[in-house]
Structure 1
Amino acid sequence: MGLLGLLVGLGLLVLFAFRGWSVLLLAPFAALVAALFGGEPLLANLTQVFMVNAAGFLAQFFPIFLLGAVFGKLMDDSGAVTSVAGFMAERLGERRVILAVVLAGALVTYGGVSLFVAFFVIVPMARSLFRAASIPRRLIPAAIVLGTSTFTMSALPGTPSIQNAIPMPFFGTTPFAAPGLGIVASLIMLGAGLWWLHRAEASARRTGEGYGDDVEDSAERAAADELVRERATTAREFDPAELQHGHRSKRPSPVLNAIAPLVVVVTVNLLMSLLVLPRLDVSYLAEQRFGDTTLAAVAGVWSVAVALAAAIATTIALNWARLPALRRTMDAGANASVLPAFSVASLVGFGAVVASLPAFTIVRDWVLAIEGGPLVSLAVATNILAALTGSASGGLTIALDALGPTYVELAARNGIDLALMHRVAVIGAGTLDILPHNGAVVSLLAICGLTHRDSYFDIVMVGIVTSLLALVAVIALGSALGSF
């Protein structure tokens, strides 16, 4: 009965989340259903397991949600994201339309701009470029997914995405874990994705397929759609409803002012991770009032948080004249972080209840028994959980909460570098999360005025297939050569 309850609880969570029900309600309900079937005490599971673990996730990662959302909103309202997108369009658009859209998305998201901010800015640019080049608009979502939701989320060294931050407390790693393997994975994703998109473009030209007809006001409708909002907030760290608040500048930021904060994010992150924090005396962390912890457990989150804070200060300083309603902009950014953070925390609470049930030992033993060693079983676990929840961050945290200590032991026993474990876990979570019910996919299609039938196959090819190829390559290279 315990295993049946686990499956029923997970099934209810997936089914009703797909129908647009709030995860804040669904996750505790599904957790209690699983506990009920297992004959476990309901109130104790709710308050002592679900809430404690959800609160623990917020305590660790809310600074990144908060600072990332504020930074994204400042970049949006100052016209910086628009400026970066326009710069890429001007330099590459006439000759390489698809590459311009992909690189515009990659540049802003690797620089720390929230995914949904990028969507609402890059989609209009992509429409203009694709229309002028007579490329089918059905390819726009795939081009944006390739640039924003693949290698810059999970593979590029130092990416400030929440997905890249989640393994750090578990493995004691930094955002730059396994940098060489991350670069290899990024090149595979980018190269294979561009090959597919150019192949699709050439095929469309041979058959005479043009741009097609636009859907008017699709972006505005998507921003106000509650169903899109509920799905979106479990997928990434920004509530799209807050894009309508604040005050967006009518003038794009000068391109150097726009790019500078993105450079600051990467540079400060690198300096904090490799130079500043390792040289600090942080023996005080062993005190009870600081959680009796170690630098390895907090350094990654500290690095990303300081990098985002420095980028926020840079954005304000360079674009002061374009932020006349600074308080409203920052309030909107702060508000945009709350629902996504609590939604993912609720998924974590659900996962903690499931992992505490006696029946979960069956699932754990099955995962650990997968042939190929710890790297393969870790990749499978993160893939499955991200697919079921439709959330890379939620699935990754559930997997590491339940199995993280076990994988640390396995890594020590098998001589596997934890940096390699980190990179495999993140890339694994960023593959099958892009299933049809994924909030980012649903939101992007709504913003573009397209349907799954129009564009989802190409999204699969550039978002799932390329990431799986990169994951296989990282596991193979890591197993043969170790972490680098």
Structure 2
Amino acid sequence: MGLLGLLVGLGLLVLFAFRGWSVLLLAPVAALVAALFGGEPLLANLTQVFMTNAAAFLAQFFPIFLLGAVFGKLMDDSDAVTSVAAFMAKRLGERRVILAVVLAGAAVTYGGVSLFVAFFVIVPMARSLFRAAEIPRRLIPAAIVLGTSTFTMSALPGTPSIQNAIPMPFFGTTPFAAPGLGIVASLVMLGTGLWWLHRAEAKARGAGEGYGDEVEDAAERAAFDEFVRERATTAREFDPAELQHGHRSDQPSPVLNAILPLIVVVAVNLLMSLVILPRLDVSYLAEQRFGGTSLAAVAGVWSVAVALTAAIVATIVLNWSRLPALRLTMDAGANASVLPAFSVASLVGFGAVVAALPAFTTVRDWVLAIEGGPLVSLAVATNILAALTGSASGGLTIALDALGDTYVDLAARTGIDLALMHRVAVIGSGTLDILPHNGAVVSLLAICGLTHRDSYFDIVMVGIVTSLLALVAVIALGSAVGSF
């Protein structure tokens, strides 16, 4: 009955989340259903397991949600994201439209701009470029997914995405874990994704397919669509409803002022991770008032938090005249972080209840028994949970909460570098999460005025297939030569 309860609870979560119900309600209900079938005490599971683990997730990662959302809103309202995108388009020209859209998305998301801010800015630019080049608009979502939701989310060393931050406390790693393997994975994703998109473009031109009919006001409708909002907030760290608040500049930011904050994120993250924090005396962290922890457990989050803070300051200083309503902008950014953070925390609470059920030992033993070793079983676990929840961050946290200590022990026994574990876990979480019910997919299609039937196959090819190829490459290389 315990295993049945686990499956029923997970099924309820997936079914009703797909129908647009709030995860804030669904996750505790699904957790209690699983506990009920397992004959476990309901109130104890709700307050001592679900809430404790949800609160622990917020305590650990809310600074990244908060700072990332504020930075994204500042970049949006100063029109800096538009400037970066326009710069890419101008430099690459109409003959390399697809590459321009992909690299524009990659530049802003690797620089720390929230995914949904990037969506609402890059989609109009992509429409203009694709229309002028007579490339079918059905390929726009795939090009944006490739640039924003693949290698810059899970593979590029130092990416400030929440997915890259989640393994750090579990494995004691930094945002730059396994940098060489991350670069290899990024090249695989980018190269195969661009190959597929150019192949699709050539095939469409050969068939005489043009740009297609435009859907008016699709982006504006998507911003106010509650279904889109509920799906979006479990996918990434920004509530799309807050894009309508604040005050966007009437004048675009100079391109240098727009790009510098993105560079600050990467540079400060690198300095904090590899130079500054390792030289600090933080022995005080062992004191009980600081949680009796260690630098390895907090260094990653500290690095990303300081990098985003520095980027926020840089954005304000460089774009002061283009932020006439700074308080409103900052408030909107802060508000945009709350619902996503609590939604993912609720998924974490659900996962904690499931992992505490006696029946979960069957699932754990099955995962660990998968042939191919710890790296393969870790990749399978993160893939499955991200797919079921439709959330890379939620699925990754559930997997590591339940199995993180086990994989640390396995790494010690088998000689696997924890940095390699980190990179495999993050890439694994960013593959099958891009299923039809994924919030980023639902939101992007709505913003573009397209349907799954129009564009989802190409999204699968550039989002799932390329990431799976990269994951296989990282596991094969890591198993053969170790982490680098």
- What TM-score comes out, normalization by structure 2 length? 1.00
1:435, 1:292 → 2: CA distance? 40
Residue 248 of structure 2 aligns to a residue in which SS?
Answer: coil
Residue 21 of structure 2 aligns to a residue in which SS?
Answer: coil
C-alpha deviations, 1:179-220, integer Å up to 9, x for none? Answer: 000000000000000000000000000000000011000000
1:481, 1:213 → 2: CA distance? 51
2:456, 2:160 → 1: CA distance? 27
1:293, 1:383 → 2: CA distance? 29
1:396, 1:174 → 2: CA distance? 16
The structural deviation recorded for 1:278 is 0.1
The structural deviation recorded for 1:94 is 1.4
2:324, 2:132 → 1: CA distance? 34
The structural deviation recorded for 1:304 is 0.1
- Report the identity percentage: 92
1:212, 1:35 → 2: CA distance? 51
The structural deviation recorded for 1:43 is 0.1
Residue 350 of structure 1 aligns to a residue in which SS?
Answer: helix
Deviates more, 1:88-97 or 1:324-333: 88-97
The structural deviation recorded for 1:4 is 0.1
C-alpha deviations, 1:95-148, integer Å up to 9, x for none? Answer: 200000000000000000000000000000000000000000000000000000
The structural deviation recorded for 1:153 is 0.1
Output the aligned Cα RMSD.
0.3
1:253, 1:289 → 2: CA distance? 44
2:232, 2:364 → 1: CA distance? 29
The structural deviation recorded for 1:404 is 0.1
Residue 235 of structure 1 aligns to a residue in which SS?
Answer: coil
2:366, 2:212 → 1: CA distance? 48
2:90, 2:269 → 1: CA distance? 29
Q: Which residue of 2 aligns with 1:237?
A: 237
2:219, 2:251 → 1: CA distance? 20
C-alpha deviations, 1:375-429, integer Å up to 9, x for none? Answer: 0000000000000000000000000000000000000000000000000000000
The structural deviation recorded for 1:250 is 1.4
2:416, 2:225 → 1: CA distance? 46
1:232, 1:39 → 2: CA distance? 34
2:263, 2:199 → 1: CA distance? 33
Instruction: After TM superposition, list the pairs within 5 Å mapping 1:75-474 onto structure 2.
Output: 75-474=75-474
1:207, 1:95 → 2: CA distance? 19
Structure 1 stretches lacking a partner, 5+ long: none
The structural deviation recorded for 1:463 is 0.1
C-alpha deviations, 1:134-180, integer Å up to 9, x for none? Answer: 00000000000000000000000000000000000000000000000
1:55, 1:93 → 2: CA distance? 48
Structure 2 stretches lacking a partner, 5+ long: none
C-alpha deviations, 1:15-61, integer Å up to 9, x for none? Answer: 00000000000000000000000000000000000000000000000
1:388, 1:105 → 2: CA distance? 26
The structural deviation recorded for 1:93 is 3.0
C-alpha deviations, 1:288-339, integer Å up to 9, x for none? Answer: 0000000000000000000000000000000000000000000000000000
- Runs of 4+ deviating beyond 3 Å: none
Residue 95 of structure 2 aligns to a residue in which SS?
Answer: coil
Residue 234 of structure 2 aligns to a residue in which SS?
Answer: helix
- What TM-score comes out, normalization by structure 1 length? 1.00
1:373, 1:188 → 2: CA distance? 23
The structural deviation recorded for 1:251 is 1.0
- Between the two proteins, the alignment pairs up a number of residues equal to 484
C-alpha deviations, 1:425-457, integer Å up to 9, x for none? Answer: 000000000000000000000000000000000
The structural deviation recorded for 1:85 is 0.4
2:82, 2:94 → 1: CA distance? 18
Residue 293 of structure 1 aligns to a residue in which SS?
Answer: coil
1:476, 1:177 → 2: CA distance? 17
1:250, 1:402 → 2: CA distance? 49
1:196, 1:448 → 2: CA distance? 20
1:389, 1:383 → 2: CA distance? 10
Residue 209 of structure 2 aligns to a residue in which SS?
Answer: coil
Residue 132 of structure 1 aligns to a residue in which SS?
Answer: helix
1:142, 1:78 → 2: CA distance? 27
Q: Which residue of 2 aligns with 1:47?
A: 47
Residue 434 of structure 1 aligns to a residue in which SS?
Answer: coil
2:403, 2:286 → 1: CA distance? 25
Residue 365 of structure 1 aligns to a residue in which SS?
Answer: helix
2:243, 2:295 → 1: CA distance? 36
1:251, 1:447 → 2: CA distance? 24
2:324, 2:343 → 1: CA distance? 32
Deviates more, 1:154-163 or 1:89-98: 89-98
2:155, 2:97 → 1: CA distance? 24
Residue 186 of structure 2 aligns to a residue in which SS?
Answer: helix
